[in-house]
Structure 1
Amino acid sequence: MCPVNLNAVALKMKRLLKYFGQCVFCSAILLVLLLFFGCKEEDKTVEDISKVQVDFSVLRFDREFAQAGPNDIPNLKEKYPFLFPEQFADSIWIAKLEDTIQLQLSGEVDKTFGDFKKETEDLESLFQHIVYYFPKFKLPEVITITSDVRYNDRVILTDSLLLLGLDNYLGKDHHFYRSIQRYIAKGLDKQYLTSDVASAFAKKVIKYPKNRSFLSRIIYYGKELYLKDKILPYTLDAQKIGYTSEEMEWAQTNEEQIWRYFVEGELLYSTDSKLDRRFLDPAPFSKFQLELDSESPGRLGRYMGWQIVRSFMEKNDIALEQLLNISADEIFKKSNYKPKK
């Protein structure tokens, strides 16, 4: 069945009925027509995206280094100069070839990712969608590495390179992550890799707000997540935001209560920087300062911003690139957002 946006269909139908009157027969005919042409439009978009040509390569530096010997270091340095800082002598890299931890990391990455075929296909789909919506985007050269589990730098996107630290995606219960806080470790799973790449791209095209209000910041993250809706259409919402399925269900179930807390507490236009730590930054849970805190997932402010942006886009005929430059106040006012009950 075609994934038609029913809210958008309802909005169009409401507009058309102004001209045709409240006729039940007309309503039925209009609904059928809107669903039909909505499917056609969705199908056309999917077809157009599938035709987008993306020519990129994935270089498995992690494997090349794991299989290298001391005599191969000069060739690797020539091929990947940006991965070999000049201040480090060759002896450092030769010693790393035989380092026990490095050998274990390489082995675990190989066990988890194998030939990287599935991930390459996911990246191809992501790049097709990005190029479709952002034709000026230049495809980066993708290079897989091990990074000694530097999870804060697991994905690095520059104008020409995409570095993926695969040792940061071995699964939340991997023994390499035992000393890492659980709320961080749960995101160190390969199911989140493509979503993390999408986040890195989002930072390139969405400006962080100068306005210090809480609303402007939740809308900023809402734009990022809505962008993922468009460039990762086959990815679960939980994966887009970095939640487990249980955390996603909690957010959806409690959306009305979260919104009431934000509104009644007059948080939307507050400039209190502590709100970032409570509702936007990665954390084991959100901080309502209530008994339910321990049950909640972190970053619920981002989730709420996402729902506001979705509501705005359902009610307004705006291109994706236009959305990214619209102010938070305008998005909020024109969203007529009402939480799900």
Structure 2
Amino acid sequence: MAFSGIIELLGIKELAEYNTDAFTKEVTDFKYKVNQCAQLYPPQEVGNIFVYNFRDYCYIQSISLKNLITFLRQLQIEILRLTDFNIRCALTEGQLGFEVIKEGGLSDSLDDLITTETVENINQENITYIRNIEYSDTPARLYGIIERFKGIGIFLDQDLIESRISQEFLNKVKKEFCFDNYYLSEAHKFRYEHFIDCCINSTQYSEVFDLESIMQRIPQSAAKQPKFSRYYIPLLINFVISYDLENFTHQDYKKFFEPLLTKIKGIVGHELVLGAILNKFFEPAYLHEFKMDTEPKRLVFEMQKKIAFSKIAYAILNDESKNIQVPREILPYSRKKNIKQRLFELAG
């Protein structure tokens, strides 16, 4: 049994028309990063990564689900660190079944190649051409999922989650790096769509990501492409959920978390991010009075005070509008009452 995925570089298509050089550069950099991350799994290793690059997207396959997820999480970091663009990914169970032409001759199917060599078409010394791709079940399903998925993240297909083969692995690692996330299927309606995402693979955000730059990109994206700005919602939820408050820094507070309370209000779906913030900054350890004996704890308290004077926070907690009823996976109903009590204490 194999596992397959699709990766698409987002926000780049408009470059193809008015700046072909920039488009070519971004696609080249994207392919380079995919190849670089895939090289972490050498051909002789069981479960190596097979990569099939096209233009601004690629298909991947491995017999190791763990390797695929690790690969995608690492690629996500590299893309976020080094480019102004982002990726969306989807994983499912099944083989791609592509036929491959290598060095001028038609090879056997991928099923016959999988145990003998890594298939790449990024390295110019080892170019792989795909012959007349026919969308069999797995590639077609992945293509459909990625078109439906309006977000930045790693979408784990329901078939994959329910598979007996992958279930044992997912049960072991879900608490470590999988979580319930949401995206908006329609830009002008409050239609929340649930999916299983993978946490961003870092606790030292200041060293890995330019969070200030990401916060600047969102309103710029909203101005250029209003529909595309909602794609950031799952990414921002991921940042909040994955963040380790024990490593909370003043830089992250001033340049990322504090602006989150004000700068994303114009984006449809921002209430999901604010719900995640409420859940994060009022975790059980911070839900009542606590000793502010460290810098991270003092910053948590400052953030709580900011939240206490946020009107949208009270609207979310009170369910005052049908349009801002945050799903319980983002903000558990059982915690709302205690958070409201804490906010009243802080505001009073």
- TM-score range relative to shorter protein: under 0.3
Larger Rg over CA atoms: 1
Q: Which protein is richer in strand relative to its size?
A: 2
After TM superposition, the score normalised by the length of structure 2 is 0.27
